[in-house]
Amino acid sequence: MEPIVEVTGGKVSGRAFEGVAAFLGIPYAAPLVGAARFAAPGAVTPWEGVRAAVEYSATCSQTPYPPAIAALLGTHIRPGDESLTVNVWTPDPSGTDLPVMVWIHGGAFSRGANSIPIYDGASLARGGVVVVGINYRVGIPGFAVLEGAPDNRGLLDQLSALRWVRENIRGFGGDPDNVTVFGESAGAMSIAALLASPAAAGLFGKAVMQSGNGSTAATAEDARKVSAALAAILEIEPTAAAFAAVDSEKLLAAQNQLGLDMVQDPNPDRWGASIIRHGMSLMTLFPIIDDEVVPDPPIDGIAAGRGHDIPLLIGTTSDEFRFFTVGAGIDAAITADILPFLLRRNGLDESLADAYAADRPDASSADLYAAIITDFAFRDSSLRIAELRAQAPAPTFVYEFAWRTPIQHLDACHALELPFVFDTLAAASTLTGPNPPQQLADTMRAAWLAFATTGNPGWSALNPDAQQIMVFDAPDSTVGPIPRQAELAALRNALKR
């Protein structure tokens, strides 16, 4: 018999299989039609009878990844207007007080969806938790600053989805007072913003940041420069009404053109210093500092103590940026002559290359660049967040994912830990290779489940007296000192200059 649950809007039926009930494509907000594309998320449109929730919904408007990245991650785009949806996996819809894990996907704030196969929550749910995957607006609809539209609409979507969870999750056996948000890349950056946001108070009690940072936020002034450039490409005014009158395909074409223009001319005077520094030519549209959701850069809010009552699990992979150099096929172009220019473009002292080369005598210029930017964009900020919270009432647990994939010398690259956390290795062979270590997936899945259930993943929290972190690897995962501290110190010294 199909499981049926009543939620905001009406009743939904799911599908039971192998000890889990899955409910897919449940709307938490109104369809994105007309002016609603650039408005705050609206109320769910009710339906009659029982709505079948057995297929994934449309994805929020986006273009496919470039071919080299798509070969690693796949392409998962479903057209349609009803994209503000959640997927729910539960071990027991009739259960009570089960821990809840809410997944916020990555994708550089321009791509991604809750329907990507490696985000399937069934395996985690079998561990005794209710898993929720959310969609939120990305790109222009989610983050362009437009007259007549609220700012940070993608984050407003996330807040709306979390309120839906609070109001509805008991029907799936979940405990609304035991909610953990977890996310990777842009999802982790979103969580940093939510941790520091007064607007998110009371919506979750624990958080996991995978491969994110606390610095990704643009000033409104700089973001308006980007929106003005988009409007110029489209030959319209930078208003919500004008953008809403343009079809999605034209908006996406303009967004792609903007990204190309920014790569070719990364001039902070043209785009704004906060866009260039935090976007790093990978992101053009992302959260901005506003009056409602992001009152200051997230790391500043965390430094001020916001979110310090929420247990945090935070970490990175060892070789994050190789995904963007090796994975995108541009590593061969990063020569000894080009490396100093690339470092300066990111606001970094070119002498950093010598500091990192001292620990990596056989590294190529591309290897050095990837190592430096891994620390600059991900590891340094993640560790700073942990350090800022070292005396907080709630603990902070730190990890590093170090297992190296055999694919394309990507090593322990960005996104590689995802199929291990979700235990979806069968869906990730293009990234992991044909024989990834199942034992590592078992270990990571167990740690995430333990954290969601108890607030402790199984090792000691970071503190000034014992700076120990978990290093996930195969055949063994071990607790030890923070790796590569000399390189991190060199980066931090350079950033002070």
Cα gap 113→115, rounded to integer Å: 5
Q: Which of 29, 46, 45 is nearest to 37 (CA)?
A: 29
Q: Which of 103, 324, 323, 315 is nearest to 210 (CA)?
A: 315
Contact 266, 283 (CB under 8 A): no
**Catalytic one of 227, 274, 278, 320:** 320
Backbone angles phi, psi at 228, to 5 degrees: -65, -40
Cα gap 15→282, rounded to integer Å: 38
Q: Which residues share a beta bridge with 410? A: none
Cα gap 443→447, rounded to integer Å: 6
The 3-class SS string of 237-274 reads: CCEHHHHHCCCHHHHHHHHHHHHHHHHHCCCHHHHCHH
**Catalytic one of 278, 318, 414, 477:** 414
Q: Any idea of the CA torsion for 217, 193, 308, 446, to the nearest 10 degrees?
A: -120
Question: Annotated catalytic, 320?
Answer: yes
Beta strands in 272-417 (DSSP E): 312-317, 396-401
Q: Which of 1, 7, 93 is nearest to 50 (CA)?
A: 7
Beta pairing, strands 206-210 & 174-184: parallel
Q: Where are the alpha helices (DSSP H) in 393-463?
A: 418-421, 429-432, 438-454
List, as one string, the DSSP characters of 322-334. HHHHTTTT-GGG-
Cα gap 377→277, rounded to integer Å: 10
Q: Which of 103, 74, 90, 80 is nearest to 17 (CA)?
A: 90
Cα gap 181→197, rounded to integer Å: 14
Cα gap 131→256, rounded to integer Å: 33
Question: Annotated catalytic, 185?
Answer: yes
**Catalytic one of 57, 83, 185, 227:** 185
Cα gap 341→366, rounded to integer Å: 13
Question: Annotated catalytic, 414?
Answer: yes
Cα gap 83→142, rounded to integer Å: 12
Active centre residues (catalytic)? 185, 320, 414
